[in-house]
Structure 1
Amino acid sequence: MAGKNIVYFDLETQRSFGDVGGFANKDKMGISVAVTYSTARGTYEIYPENEMDRLGEELVRADLVVGWNHIQFDYPVLQPYIFHTLADQTINLDMMLDLETKLGFRLKLDSVASASLGTGKTADGLDALRWWQEHKKTGDFAPLRKIAEYCAYDVKVTKCVHEYALEHGLLKYDDRNGGIAEVEVNWT
């Protein structure tokens, strides 16, 4: 992977599935903030809603985009903002979808992160929705900063999970019986 630009990616929405009439209407959810981490740049980048075209450019230029359920969730949410058809114009590793193929069920990022890395997420998407409402109501920047921090942390967790998998050739996850199970992966 040396020399390749891997871009880790996540976004937060303005509205919930309930707000937009269900899962089929992901394109109506809106984006409050998106965050990437680029291995070429070595830094995180925070994208407000008015910079989604710049985000699209970064994703298309990446050698590999790594995310958690980004193909079936984040890309459809992002699509109304950008010209590119992202799934067709990017090279992707959707870790959740790959694990679902291997295991036959979906895992939460938190389950894999806590079992593999010993650390979980700091908040959840409902917090981010609440912070967005607060920002819209007050115009205050602080809730927007909270969303960006939460989203950046998710990107960091995604990156750490991917790096763990590359190093160990497997991921651990919390199984349904309160134990920890392992699944082999080959993402090199």
Structure 2
Amino acid sequence: MTDTIVFDLETKKDFAEVGGREHLEKLEVSVLCAYSYLSDKFYAFEEKDLGRFETMLASAGKVVGFNIKGFDLPVLRPYFKLDPLALPVLDLMDEVVSGVGFRVSLDNLCQTTLGAAKSAHGLDAVRWYREGKIEEIKKYCTDDVRLTRDLYEFGKTNGHVLFLSRDQAGRVAIPVRWGVLGARDGGLKKILEEAFARKKSVEIDYVTRSSDRPDPLRKTRLVDIYKLDGDFFEGFCHLRKSPRIFKIERVLAAKLTALPYEIPGEAQTKLL
């Protein structure tokens, strides 16, 4: 059985000390913490122990983290024989950006989704390293791994995570597909196009944007598509029993049914 590893790392130096973000490989690892699903244990590695972590990664079926493609994995490259960027990686940051269109901090996501905040920040860990407080770094890094794991689990179960919007629009749901088997964006669009062309109802797994409603954000809906328009489609929602506009990026999965439909005359006139 292959393992799923969730990890995070802290560095000895900050960006100012190494000449900017383009020199990630010079930051040097102070502490790396990981969670193994196979053993159900947390691990803390200091720089001298990173070879043991490389062994864990080599047999992992999935490596999970937050912004690890853009930060953690490049930082690790000087330490490993294997190429960290070639690993089977699920970067939660990438999924969030894909779902909402911009970066959202781990702290925002965890506070809004889980009701749990980060215990410190990366620059605190750099300062602690200078002060020789390695155990403080291990505790903070382990806390971040736990938050990342819990965020991953929430998204896998619910098909979305939540963040507090920058424009004060309240809590917003971000659809995530890391727990969904089946079509991703390209395949989804083909299914929707086929449903529209053949005039067959389509069953969609859909995440509503607003989290202010009391009912669940993720629902299965049966839709008769009236119009496909770029990133959106319009159709009759059998759940709401009225026409609705849907955003394709909020569809987690879609399944073509054998149920035929016709576009009502008034809807055809409206769509012209």
TM-score, normalized by length of structure 2? 0.64
Q: Give the deviation of 1:55 after TM superposition.
A: 1.1
Partner of 1:186: 177
Divergent runs of 4+, >3 A: none
Query: 2:87 matched to 1:97?
Result: no
The answer to whether the 8 Å contact 1:7/1:39 transfers is yes
CA distance in 1, matches of 2:35, 2:112: 23
Rounded Cα–Cα distance in structure 2 between residues aligned with 1:78 and 1:161: 23
Residue number among 124, 142, 163 corresponding to 1:127 in the alignment: 124
Deviations 1:25-76 (A, max 9, x none): 0000000000010000110011110111211221221111110000110011
Q: Provide the C-alpha distance between the structure 1 equivalents of 2:22 and 2:177, rounded to a whole number of angstroms.
A: 32
C-alpha separation between the residues in 2 aligned to 1:170 and 1:97? Answer: 14
What secondary structure does 1:71 align onto? helix
Q: Which residue of 1 aligns with 2:34?
A: 36
- Which residue pairs with 1:176 in the alignment? 166
The alignment partner of 1:32 has SS state of strand
Alpha-carbon separation, structure 2, partners of 1:85 and 1:158: 23
Structure 1 regions of 5+ residues with no counterpart? 136-142
1:164 pairs, out of 148, 154, 158, with 154
Q: Percent identity?
A: 34
Deviation at 1:177, TM superposition (A): 2.4
Paired residues of 2:35 and 2:43 also in contact (CA < 8 A): yes
Does structure 1 retain, via aligned residues, the 8 Å contact 2:44–2:138?
yes
Tell me: CA distance 1:56–1:4, structure 2 relative to 1, closer, same or farther (3 Å).
closer
Match of 2:3 in 1: 5
- Listed as ranges, the matches of 1:20-169 within 5 Å are 20-88=18-86, 90-135=87-132, 143-169=133-159
Q: Secondary structure at the match of 1:27?
A: helix
Q: Give the Å deviation of 1:174.
A: 1.2
| Structure with greater strand percent | 2
- The structure whose Rg is larger is 2
More RCO (CA 8 Å, sep 6+): 1
Alpha-carbon distance, 1:102 to partner: 2.3
SS at match of 2:129: helix
Aligned-residue CA RMSD in angstroms?
Answer: 1.0
TM-score (norm 1): 0.92
Q: Which has the higher helix share?
A: 1
Counterpart for residue 140 of structure 1: none
